[in-house]
């Protein structure tokens, strides 16, 4: 089944404890992206990657890191999480971003709480 998977789905952690949220897609998509969703703000892009070893900042990159060593994986790293990073996180991927109708497909989401 074609899908984007994220792990963990739920995570409660404490301030300053490094964590990684994994994202994997099995559709051979070139493009991958991370978003956070907060009430009243919709989804905001954190980082994106156009292909392997190519990453770039989105609208809200502060406090996050990413890497794209393999085409299928795009982990999100919080080196020192803070309470304002409590949010619902989505990973998304798409086949060919240069194509206008290219559609992003989303993972199931990761609900992160930082105490």
Strand partners, 22: 7
Closest residue by Cα to residue 68 from 93, 90, 103:
93
Q: Is 19 exposed, middle or buried (0-12, 13-18, 19+ CB in 10 A)?
A: middle
Residue 11 contacts another protein per CB under 8 A = no
Pick the closer one to another protein by CB: 40 or 69: 40
Residue 113 contacts another protein per CB under 8 A = no
Residue 25 contacts another protein per CB under 8 A = no
Residue 101 contacts another protein per CB under 8 A = yes
Gap between the terminal Cα atoms of the chain: 36
**Footprint of another protein on this chain (CB under 8 A)?**
31, 33, 35, 40-45, 48, 50, 58-59, 88, 90, 92, 94, 97, 100-109, 111
């Amino acid at each position: 089944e074609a899908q984007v998977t994220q792990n963990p789905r739920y995570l409660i952690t404490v301030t300053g404890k490094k964590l990684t949220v994994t994202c994997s897609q099995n559709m051979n998509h070139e493009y991958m992206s991370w978003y956070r969703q907060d009430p009243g703000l919709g989804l905001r892009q954190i980082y994106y990657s156009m292909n392997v070893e190519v990453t770039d900042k989105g609208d809200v990159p502060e406090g996050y890191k990413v890497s794209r060593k393999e085409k299928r994986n795009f982990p999100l790293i919080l080196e020192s999480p803070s309470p304002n990073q409590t949010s619902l996180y989505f990973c998304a991927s798409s086949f060919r971003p240069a194509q206008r109708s290219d559609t992003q497909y989303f993972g199931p989401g990761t609900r992160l709480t930082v105490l």
